[in-house]
Amino acid sequence: MRVAIAGAGLAGLSCAKYLTDLGHVPIVLERRDVLGGKVAAWKDSDGDWYETGLHIFFGAYPNMLQLFKELDIEDRLQWKEHSMIFNQPESPGTYSRFDFPDLPAPFNGVMAILRNNDMLAWSDKIRFGIGLIPAMIQGQKYVEEQDKYSFSQWLEKHKIPPRVEKEVFIAMSKALNFINPDEISATVLLTALNRFLQEKSGSKMAFLDGSPTERLCQPLVDRITAGGGEVRLLAPVKKFLLDENNPSKNPVSGFLVRGADGSSDRVIEADAYVSAMPVDPLKLMLPPEWREMEYFQKLEGLEGVPVINVHLWFDCKLTDIDHLLFSRSPLLSVYADMSNTCRAYENSDRSMLELVLAPAKDWIGKSDEEIVEATMAELEKLFPDHFSGKSPAQLLKYHIVKTPRSVYKATPGRQLCRPSQVTPIANFFLTGDYTMQRYLASMEGAVLSGKLTAQAIASYFDSGDQSTLAVGG
């Protein structure tokens, strides 16, 4: 059966890959000239890559790891030491580490927390540990119920000292959803903590060995095309066309795709249709008839959060740390020296820092120069030795990638707004990290949603629910 998919981000590509595995023929239509959506990357005129986001793969990503295995590209994941490393703003140039020993979960996590005495006092650890007991005992059910609270409210409710939030969870919250603990839903942090504490390698991190576009999206495309499917770039879906003669059976009759370079628009027909677009453009494209439906109305509660990815190339090495770093700076979230962490960006003499600027709502409208200037001022605090004295580090060049609406902003109450992959429209499905799956807005969530959507479409075909099946396109 033929399936038209709008969007070649990880969700759209994963959906297409799993449909191919099930013997169906996907045609993926991507608006831009680049694969990957929020993992898209570009090469500049010097041959250096820059990316939409600094991306980390976790041990707690079973569907993503399975996908790497299925594509036979597991060696492209560069696993790092099992640690979490934080800058110490009060002693610039130093780091505090949570090192996970080789013990079963949750003992490795508990040991990592107990052995770190820079950031948390014993009383903080005990209060926090007690607060986590319901999540550990009742699991995901409890975690979902906490969606009514922000993480700050949850900490307060459990009488956990404000120091715990300040020292650890501002950084974690910014890393997970680009917002602060007073905005983020408690469900997000508790989901991550649960995975990290319940799975031995849950918090172990890997970097991809090159750009996600080339090293992850391209093998997906190769698999899709080898199975008879297609991925077309510069093919923006403009409109969902509805079958007015047969609205109850196969309500969607085609995707109207804008023609490239002045050519006329085309209609792509298929047996089933998928939106793998982010939620913000999807909301704008909903046909008026659908907007009345409760299922689609709930999408109004979801909106992408702004974030900025900053890349800075220096004339010398700033650090030899081969890992993700939590900056704990008010301006920045996580960062990494990609010249150490990623094989394709490797350089033994010069650093390339990739830094996530979040929360970004006050910065998204500012110029690249203003963003670089503010980032450099923060770096002078993080690496004081390199930016003072006779020969301070020189910035050679930079790239800034702004995403005004990235992953959905996971404030309290959002879980209720997240839609299932199956919609009330028989031959129309959704996929994307914002759709309901247990991994929130992440690469793992996108890949899992793609797989769930492919399974839902296969059941729809198997059920024989569709009457007249479309041909060609």
Ligand X SMILES: Cc1cc2nc3c(=O)[nH]c(=O)nc-3n(C[C@H](O)[C@H](O)[C@H](O)COP(=O)(O)OP(=O)(O)OC[C@H]3O[C@@H](n4cnc5c(N)ncnc54)[C@H](O)[C@@H]3O)c2cc1C
441 binds ligand X (CB under 6 A): yes
277 binds ligand X (CB under 6 A): yes
Output 116 or 442, the one with its CB closest to ligand X.
442
Binding segment toward ligand X, per CB under 6 A, in 27-35, 294-302, 364-372, 410-418: 27-35
Supply the minimum distance, in Å, between the C-beta of residue 142 and ligand X. Answer: 23
Which of 266, 264, 262 is closest to 232 using CA atoms? 266
Binding mask 292-321 for ligand X (x = CB under 6 A): ---------------x-x------------
9 binds ligand X (CB under 6 A): yes
Q: How far is CA 279 from the centre of its chain?
A: 14
Per the CB < 8 A criterion, the answer to whether 39 and 9 are in contact is: yes
Per the CB < 8 A criterion, the answer to whether 329 and 88 are in contact is: no
109 binds ligand X (CB under 6 A): no
With CB under 6 A as the contact rule, the residue among 180, 403, 411, 423 that binds ligand X is: 403
Binding segment toward ligand X, per CB under 6 A, in 23-31, 72-80, 102-110, 385-393: 23-31
Q: Beginning with the edge strand found earlier in the chain, give each strand of the sheet holding 230-232 in spatial order.
A: 230-232, 25-29, 2-6, 272-275, 428-430
Which of 112, 103, 194, 184 is closest to 150 using CA atoms? 184
39 binds ligand X (CB under 6 A): yes
> Phi and psi at residue 454, in whole multiples of 5°?
-60, -40
| 247 prior amide bond cis, ω within 30 | no
Output 186 or 407, the one with its CB closest to ligand X.
407
Supply the minimum distance, in Å, between the C-beta of residue 102 and ligand X. Answer: 24
State how far the alpha carbon of 271 is from the alpha carbons of 146, 179, 353, 473, in Å: 40, 40, 46, 11
Q: Beginning with the edge strand found earlier in the chain, give each strand of the sheet holding 252-257 in spatial order.
A: 237-242, 252-257, 266-268
121 CB neighbour count, 10 Å cutoff: 13
Binding segment toward ligand X, per CB under 6 A, in 182-190, 276-284, 362-370, 372-380: 276-284
With CB under 6 A as the contact rule, the residue among 52, 63, 341, 411 that binds ligand X is: 52
Output 30 or 167, the one with its CB closest to ligand X.
30
With CB under 6 A as the contact rule, the residue among 432, 454, 457, 460 that binds ligand X is: 432
3-state DSSP assignment of residue 401: strand
Binding segment toward ligand X, per CB under 6 A, in 3-11, 346-354, 451-459, 462-470: 3-11
User: What gap in Å lies between CA 429 and CA 456, rounded to an integer?
Assistant: 8
CA dihedral sign, ordered 146, 330, 402, 62? negative
Supply the minimum distance, in Å, between the C-beta of residue 70 and ligand X. Answer: 18
Output 145 or 209, the one with its CB closest to ligand X.
209
Supply the minimum distance, in Å, between the C-beta of residue 126 and ligand X. Answer: 31
202 binds ligand X (CB under 6 A): no
Binding segment toward ligand X, per CB under 6 A, in 83-91, 96-104, 216-224, 275-283: 275-283
Binding segment toward ligand X, per CB under 6 A, in 77-85, 243-251, 271-279, 368-376: 271-279
337 binds ligand X (CB under 6 A): no
User: What gap in Å lies between CA 83 and CA 202, rounded to an integer?
Assistant: 11
Supply the minimum distance, in Å, between the C-beta of residue 26 and ligand X. Answer: 13
Secondary structure letter of residue 360 according to DSSP? -
Bridge-based pairing state of the strands 332-337 and 352-357: antiparallel
Which of 173, 197, 408 is closest to 299 using CA atoms? 408
Output 393 or 406, the one with its CB closest to ligand X.
406
Binding mask 119-158 for ligand X (x = CB under 6 A): ----------------------------------------
Supply the minimum distance, in Å, between the C-beta of residue 406 and ligand X. Answer: 4
Which of 310, 338, 311, 334 is closest to 322 using CA atoms? 338
**What share of residues in the chain are helix, strand, coil (percent, to 5)?**
40, 20, 40
With CB under 6 A as the contact rule, the residue among 4, 10, 84, 208 that binds ligand X is: 10
Point out which residues bind ligand X (CB under 6 A): 6-12, 29-32, 37-39, 52-56, 236-237, 276-278, 281, 307, 309, 356, 403, 406-407, 432-433, 441-446
